[in-house]
Amino acid sequence: MWTLHRTGPFPEDESRIAVPVHVPEPARGLRVALLGCGVVGTEVARMLLDQGADLAARVGAPLELAGIAVRDADRPRDAVIPRDLLTEDVESLVDDADIVIEVMGGIEPARGLLLRAIESGAAVVTANKALLAADGPTLYKAADSAGVDIYYEAAVAGAIPIVRPVRESLAGDYVRRVLGIVNGTTNYVLDQMATSGLDLEEAVKQAQELGYAEADPTADVEGYDAAAKAAILASLAFHTRVSADDVAREGITGVTPDDVAWAARTGHALKLLAIAEQTGEGVSVRVHPALVPLEHPLAGVKGAFNAIFVEADAAGPLMFYGQGAGGRPTASAVLGDVVSAARHRVLGGKGPQESIYAARPLLPADAAVTRYQVRLLVADLPGVLAQVAGVVGDHGVSIDTMRQTGPSEGTAELLLTTHAAREASLAATIAAVRNLEPVREITSVLRVEG
């Protein structure tokens, strides 16, 4: 639209000069499609509807919630969800959207729907860590080819901003290591075992009653959820493609109350950690229970909270802490991505693309280097300590400390803490120690991190 603008006062006998000034048309509203209306989807819808004026001011255009795709539109919903927005025709909703938010989870149909959205020119915001860890590169490539944004802050640690800091704020730095508690369910379970004396089954049941764990807690307690998040973080931090299949994974189902008690006795907290690090040899990514010294910040993370510790050359150690799950915290991260994508629609520009220039080799699980705490029952006989220490040394593993508890019915318990050693060397050491005649049982092998 063009209009005439008077540049100043003119004498009556002087001709007026018409100066064309461009007045932009008001920005049209952006149509937002929401796929999924579970706990997170409901909170995303609530925030879009309740904060519409503020969001429009931040973006520069109104955000219109065009529809919410669900499997069953007749199912009872939270009263905040307008019934007329619910639809089972997800394809039509996606085809007519400017921004598609996916919080339905799972691999399919989520992958097909997001690819359809990208092909139709929509920006994509997803919280789907399983999909990104399994086939993120397909989505990234499609988004790059179509010239649209793909954002996924909510996929890793709920409300905690970690994707953007690693991908953007630390883009000029060299990240050496990322380790953290990225699953609130397992952290709650281990915390209850430590503070309330519950066994694993009791603690998981309590987590389910509080809504921290699903009816089937396998993805949490077996480490699958944490492994997916570790893969995403490693890919971002090390500019190398890492999938969930590349992550060495061990859950907490083998953790006993004795393990938790011994952790406290030796000045540690037992946590399920996601660990990604790069060395001169390549990239190692793993998820497993670990002993964390009480003086380390991660040891103090309680309940269902998450925390991620990043070690970078120039920035030094950084810690990100907060609520890693739940409807409102996760919705906060989703809406942050929506605002970024929407701003690019209104003002131009594009978010970061996948960065895989480094293409570091991915190391096998047995190449990881860490310290270990080993507990074993042995016959209470002279020379047993020396015999065990000799076998450990023969396999190239150095002992930091060794202690023995009092004998009971002819047996004694040994606690060994090693210096840093390769996983392969430790595994060979454990096999050799187990075959010693005085050794009755290897009670526990736990890594020491941090």
Name every residue whose Cβ is closer than 8 Å to that of residue 205 and which is 6 or more positions away in sequence. none
Torsion of CA 129, 130, 134, 136, to 10 degrees: -30
From 3, 5, 57, 2, select the one nearest 27 (Cα to Cα): 57
Name every residue whose Cβ is closer than 8 Å to that of residue 371 and which is 6 or more positions away in sequence. 400, 417, 418, 419, 420, 421, 447, 448, 449
| Cα atoms in the Cβ-side hemisphere of radius 13 Å centred on 165 | 18
Q: Among 141, 205, 229, 302, which one carries the catalytic annotation?
A: 229
DSSP H or E stretch at residue 269: strand 268-278
Amino acid identity for residue 367 in this structure: A
Is 350 catalytic? The answer is no
Q: How far apart are CA 267 and CA 275, in angstroms?
A: 21
**Cα 191 to chain centroid, rounded:** 19
For residue 441, what are its two tokens? 């049982």
Backbone phi, then psi, for 365, in 5-degree steps? -60, -35
Q: Is residue 75 classed exposed, middle or buried when 0-12, 13-18 and 19+ CB atoms within 10 A define those classes?
A: exposed
**Cα 370 to chain centroid, rounded:** 22
Amino acid identity for residue 308 in this structure: I
Q: How many CB atoms lie within 10 A of CB 420?
A: 12
What is the torsional sign of CA 407, 412, 413, 414? positive
Max distance between CA atoms of the chain, in angstroms, equals: 119
Q: How far apart are CA 348 and CA 292, in angstroms?
A: 46
Give catalytic residue positions: 229
